Structure 1
Amino acid sequence: MINTTSREDLMKLINHFRQEVMSWRSRFLVHKGSRFISIAVEDIAMIYTRDRGHYIKTFSGDDYQIDTNLDRLEEELNPSDFYRVNRQFILNYRSIDQVLAWFDGKLKVTVKPAGYEDIIISRLKATDFKVWLGK
């Protein structure tokens, strides 16, 4: 039997969890020329930083510049679908083609569509990445 205080705490925890699950970002508004385009999160293969700019790459291979940095996006995206592999890349698990053992315990990830450079995961993040990928 759960006492009243424990039940209230449990309900607060459940409500907090529901809010967390419901608050993941579902789409992005991006510029393309003079138009605005809404891109669904399901269509995003990766988010990356290049030359101080932040970009979305869709599964169709299109790149769009965005204003939000990767630190903030990491908090806004569902961690079941997206993983921050290093300072330059956040990957959607569906974009991952292969994971290769690399030098000194690092991992090299190949993705589809291809990124602008090799995606290397540090030895320190490799174990956590493999756990995430296996969920």
Structure 2
Amino acid sequence: MRIAIVEDERLSAEHLAALIKEIEPEAEIVAMLDSVAATVAWLRKNEADLLFLDIQLTDGQSFAIFEQMQVDVPVIFTTAYDAYAIRAFKVNSVDYLLKPIRKAELRAGLEKFHRLHFPAQKNLQQLIQALQRSSQEYKKKFLVQCGEKLYYIETSAIAFAYTLEKSSFLTTFDRAVHTVDFSLDQLQEMLDPDVFFRINRKLIVSYKAIKSMTAFSRSRIKLDLQPVPPKTIDALVSVERTHRFKEWIDK
């Protein structure tokens, strides 16, 4: 997603950009602009999926942009004053955020943008991903070793995979733990994403191992897994993965 930020205070623009990247790491900040004139000039030659638009700019109010050109890009307004709210929603506005911008409100604004403006693209992306998955072969079993003995375990028997002290392990539903010669990144590519989800840097879980879920601090989700992971492995869905986890678990 390509995002342009229009804000006359550089520190505020950089802070907003950092918050956006925390919530949506794949977002691309394609421009930081500080005036009506610069924004009009940029929009005439460039494209964005979403504009974050401060109302008070160096050369006037940002509403002047809409008077000078047709703006088809969805907008989230940002300002320290709420007196402009009604006027803001008369233009192409998704949301209206008061400064200082709080992460929870920004997250809600971005989620609203996705609901209102990307249903078709989202459905298309899901279709493409489904087609890719149907043509991709995921591992059905893993060869493991215990002493001199070699044997295999079925992927369907895996409850979760984790990394600890630079080694990777598979735990099966019978509570057996197996060492494997793959990194967690490699395992993530090998395991079917319809069944397994990487909830944080150290842990990939099967939905079949999730017994319950609890809302946790900072918008995270705590999972109760069976079998139980080692005490040093937190079964917490990280902040940046929470949105995708909810979509995955709700399929």
TM-score, normalized by the shorter chain, greater than 0.5: yes
Tell me: CA distance 1:58–1:104, structure 2 relative to 1, closer, same or farther (3 Å). Answer: same
Deviation sequence 1:73-113 (CA, Å, 0-9, x none)? 11111100000111111101100111110011111111000
**What is residue 248 of structure 2 aligned with on the other side?**
132
- 1:30-109 equivalences in 2 (<5 Å): 30-109=144-223
1:123 equivalent to 2:239? Answer: yes
For 1:85, what is the secondary structure of its paired residue?
Answer: strand
Distance 2:138 2:247 in 1: 21
For 1:108, what is the secondary structure of its paired residue?
Answer: strand
Note the C-alpha offset of 1:19.
2.8
Note the C-alpha offset of 1:130.
1.1
TM-score (norm 2): 0.46
Note the C-alpha offset of 1:39.
0.3
**What is residue 6 of structure 1 aligned with on the other side?**
none
Q: Percent identity?
A: 29
Tell me: CA distance 1:18–1:111, structure 2 relative to 1, closer, same or farther (3 Å). Answer: closer
The one of 227, 235, 241 equivalent to 1:113 is: 227
* AA in 1 matched with 2:138: W
Deviation sequence 1:45-90 (CA, Å, 0-9, x none)? 0010011110000000000100001101111111000001111111
Tell me: CA distance 1:125–1:16, structure 2 relative to 1, closer, same or farther (3 Å). Answer: closer
Distance 1:105 1:18 in 2: 32
**Displaced runs of 4 or more, over 4 A:** 15-18
**Residue segments in structure 2 that go unaligned for 5+ positions in a row:** 1-130
The structure with more radius of gyration: 2
Structure with the larger RCO, 1 or 2 (CA within 8 Å, 6+ apart): 1
CA-based RMSD: 1.7
For 1:98, what is the secondary structure of its paired residue?
Answer: strand
**What is residue 5 of structure 1 aligned with on the other side?**
none
* AA in 2 matched with 1:91: V
Tell me: CA distance 1:32–1:17, structure 2 relative to 1, closer, same or farther (3 Å). Answer: closer
For 1:68, what is the secondary structure of its paired residue?
Answer: coil
Tell me: CA distance 1:16–1:133, structure 2 relative to 1, closer, same or farther (3 Å). Answer: closer
For 1:129, what is the secondary structure of its paired residue?
Answer: helix
- 1:18-29 equivalences in 2 (<5 Å): 18-20=134-136, 23-29=137-143
